[in-house]
Chains A and B, each alone.
Chain A
């Protein structure tokens, strides 16, 4: 598959548990982004990675959220001690370069439900 893939597609977890969401970007894309989409809302930027540069974490809502990326490959978004307000669809996107002019290609998302 040539597109961005995410796993799992759905995740139900109990409040207080930790979850890990995975993103496989398009091969060769140096930039990777995470967004959150709450029900009926637009997308909120969380974090982006560009190669080996320091990530921009300015959108992470709290210190319970963290993300890692190894080189220009897979990224993992981790939410610790999940809360009900974390329920949302988490979308990953990748682009050829980190710049406003490059199209971001989105994955299908992971729907997280915290009970």
Chain B
């Protein structure tokens, strides 16, 4: 079955510290992978996506993610977290055989300490 697992429900980091949010997926074909961010009262915003090619992808707001096929992972990273990064982060998988629908993980809530 196709699924996305985000093992960490809640993470707290200090402002300026580095961040890594984990995402593992199960998908039968070549996956398209996404990270979205949801701030309170806001809609989901796409941070970055992977379709093919370079396995390290850069996104907005200084985020990056690395696709590791052997580990079925697509972890999100940021070298230095800002207080404004506090939000809910969702990893999602889709593919050419799914007609565009996305399967989402349960989300990781990020809190940032001053």
The reply to whether A104 and B100 contact each other, CB–CB distance below 8 Å, is yes
Please give, as numbers and ranges, the residues of chain A lying within 8 Å of B51 by CB-CB distance: 100-101
Residue of A nearest to B105 (CB): A42
Which of B6, B45, B100, B106 interacts with A31 by CB under 8 Å?
Answer: B100
Which of the candidate stretches A11-19, A60-68, A79-87, A105-113 sits at the interface with the other chain? Answer: A105-113
Closest beta carbon of chain A to B10's beta carbon, Å: 10
Are B43's CB and A91's CB within 8 A? Answer: yes
Q: Which residues of B contact A109 (CB under 8 A)?
A: 43
Q: How many residue pairs between the two chains, A and B, have CB atoms under 8 Å in the bound complex?
A: 73
Q: Find A106's partner among B32, B44, B49, B101 (CB 8 Å cutoff).
A: B44
CA distance A85 to B52 in the complex (A): 39
Size of interface on B: residues with Cβ below 8 Å to A: 27
Given contact pairs A91-B44, A100-B32, A107-B43, A42 touches B99 in the complex (Cβ within 8 A): no
Complex Cα gap A50–B101 (Å): 11
Any B CB within 8 A of the CB of A74: no
Q: Quick check: is B70 within 8 A (CB to CB) of the other chain?
A: no
Nearest-CB distance from A44 to chain B (Å)? 8
Residues of B within 8 A of A59 (CB): 101
Closest 9 A/B residue pairs (Cβ): A42-B104, A106-B44, A43-B104, A100-B94, A100-B32, A106-B43, A42-B106, A45-B101, A108-B43
Q: Which residues of B are in contact with A by a Cβ distance under 8 Å?
A: 4, 6, 32, 36, 41-46, 49, 51, 90, 92, 94-96, 98-107
Chain A interfacial positions (CB closer than 8 Å to B): 3-4, 31, 33, 35, 40-45, 48, 50, 56, 59, 91, 93, 95, 97-109
CB<8 Å pairs between A and B, sample of 11: A33-B102, A42-B104, A42-B105, A50-B99, A91-B44, A100-B51, A100-B95, A104-B46, A106-B36, A108-B43, A109-B43
